[in-house]
Amino acid sequence: MQQIRRNRRLRTNDAIRSLVRENIITPHDFLVPLFIVEGKDVKEEIPSMPNYYRYSLDLLGNEVKELWSLGLKSVLLFVKVPDHLKDNKGTEALNSDGLMQRAIKTVKEAVPEMLVMTDVALDPYSSYGHDGIVEDGQIINDETCKILAEMSLSHAQAGADFVAPSDMMDGRILSMRELLEKENYKNTGIMSYSAKYASAFYGPFRDALDSAPGFGDKKTYQMDFANRDEAIKETLMDIEEGADIVMVKPGLCYLDMVRDIRDVVDVPVAVYQVSGEYAMLKAAAEKGWLDHDAVMLEQIMAFKRAGAQIIASYFAKDVVKLLN
Ligand SMILES: NCC(=O)CCC(=O)O
Ligand SMILES: [Mg+2]
């Protein structure tokens, strides 16, 4: 039989490939994680995350202005809390003049239109490095939810647009939503880390914030990476409880979950390309074993192809500079 259909016709040159391309990457896809520390004039590189930095508040404004000028309009804030302020209940998290609360104001002063999302979890504030209150070696769920709700309110009062709980306690979305509604923060959104797996890919992040668990691991609250149906259940429950955006984390090893979830939910789906994913590419590129920029773009496109509408990535700035 004479061959009539030839797929290669649509790949003949760059123009036709561009014309038929199914997905594109734009600056609007990204959520930029930012690490913030106390101090003055601090821009310190995180050893396991080359070319990624912790900033003190006086330098944060400039960084945020640069992001805005590149078309990056959303940031996700994380703070590194000094050891002497850590305790079991994360008391410092509720300090209206705490580092997170000041960071929110700093970003909003520098670029009022910047969308500010904040990490809501106890681990950076916990003397145990866990995402909840510890009692007899256990992570206590319901009492933790109450603190997470108060933390969300505190961030909203400081000016956060969205709060992003990364803890995986049961019922925390409902606790947070109810308190925000009651206190009249009706437009403060919740981006839930709804399918967050217990992953070894978070290692460099824990270096960045000095937040590694002091005992045990996080497997009693974060998900077993063998599970697929459970991620759907977690995500649908969070939407019922009031999540505006849901998330899959980590990214590349969990693209199947991004697609599964995108297919069944009616809210935007975010993915978090985590620190270990960033570190792997940086290390391989440093050794000359991978083409950094080409692999970076291929990975980001994989998130879009899988169905992610929001990509939290340490590569955001690099990608956007490359696109320009
Ligand atoms: N809540 C944030 C994390 O747990 C880790 C992110 C990362 O590894 O980049
Ligand atoms: Mg859950």
CATH number of the domain enclosing 206: 3.20.20.70
pLDDT tier for residue 14 given thresholds of 50, 70 and 90: very high
Residue 5: partners with Cβ closer than 8 Å, 6 or more residues away: none
Residue given tokens 């590569």 in the structure block: 315
Report pLDDT digits (tens) over 31-79. 999 999 999 999 999 999 999 999 999 999 999 999 999 999 999 999 9
Q: What is the pLDDT of residue 291?
A: 98
Question: Which protein residue's CA is at the shortest distance from atom 5 of ligand 1?
Answer: 202
> How close is the Cα of 274 to the center of ligand 1, in Å?
6
In a domain, 183, yes or no: yes
Given a cut of 90, is residue 211 above it in pLDDT?
Answer: no
Distance (Å, rounded) from C-alpha 196 to C-alpha 271? 10
Among 94, 3, 33, 111, smallest CA distance to 315 is for 33
Other CB atoms within 10 A of residue 317 CB: 19
Q: What percent of the chain has pLDDT over 90?
A: 97
The half-sphere exposure of 80 on its side-chain side, counting CA atoms within 13 A, is: 21
pLDDT of residue 123: 95
**Measuring from each residue's beta carbon to the nearest atom of ligand 1, which residues come in under 6 Å?**
119, 121, 166, 202, 205, 274-275
Taking the CA of 221 as reference, the closest ligand is: 2
Burial of 297 by CB count in 10 Å (0-12 exposed, 13-18 middle, 19+ buried)?
A: middle
Residue range 289-298, pLDDT digits in tens: 999 999 999 9
Q: Given a cut of 90, is residue 2 above it in pLDDT?
A: no
89: pLDDT confidence band, cut at 50, 70 and 90?
A: very high
Which 3 state secondary structure label does DSSP give 260?
Answer: helix
DSSP sequence for 172-195: HHHHHHHHHHHTT-TT-EEEEEEE
d(CA 91, CA 98): 10
Report the mean per-residue pLDDT for the chain. 97
Give domain status of residue 18, yes or no.
Answer: no
Task: Look at residue 207 and give its three-state secondary structure.
Answer: helix
Give all strands (DSSP E) within 111-180, no chain letters. 115-120, 133-135, 138-140, 162-165
One-letter amino acid at 180 equals L
Looking at the structure of the chain, the number of domains it has is: 1
Residue 234 marked as a ligand binder: yes
Nearest CA to ligand 1 atom 8: 202
Q: Name the closest ligand to CA 175.
A: 2
Whether 6 maps to a domain, the answer reads no
Characterize the bridge pairing of strands 133-135 and 138-140: antiparallel
C-alpha to C-alpha distance for 40 and 55, rounded to whole angstroms:
9
Catalytic residues: 196, 249
Q: For residue 100, give the nearest of 159, 44, 146 by alpha carbon.
A: 159
Within 13 A of 106's CA, how many CA atoms are on the CB side? 23
Residue type, 105: K
Q: Check: CB of residue 213 under 8 Å from CB of residue 130.
A: yes
Residue 9 in domain: no
pTM here? Answer: 0.97
Position 147 scores a pLDDT of 98
Is residue 14 domain-resident? Answer: no
| For residue 250, pLDDT beyond 90 | yes
User: What pLDDT does residue 141 have?
Assistant: 98
Residue 193 contacts by C-beta under 8 Å, 6 or more apart in sequence?
A: 164, 165, 166, 167, 168, 247, 249, 272
The answer to the question of residue 267 being in a domain is yes
Q: Residue 23 pLDDT > 90, yes or no?
A: yes
Q: Does residue 290 lie in a domain region?
A: yes
Confidence of residue 210 (pLDDT cuts 50, 70, 90): confident
- Which two three-digit tokens encode residue 27? 């600056």
- Structure tokens given for 319: 């990608």
Q: In which domain, by residue range, is 134 found?
A: 24-323
pLDDT for 1 equals: 79
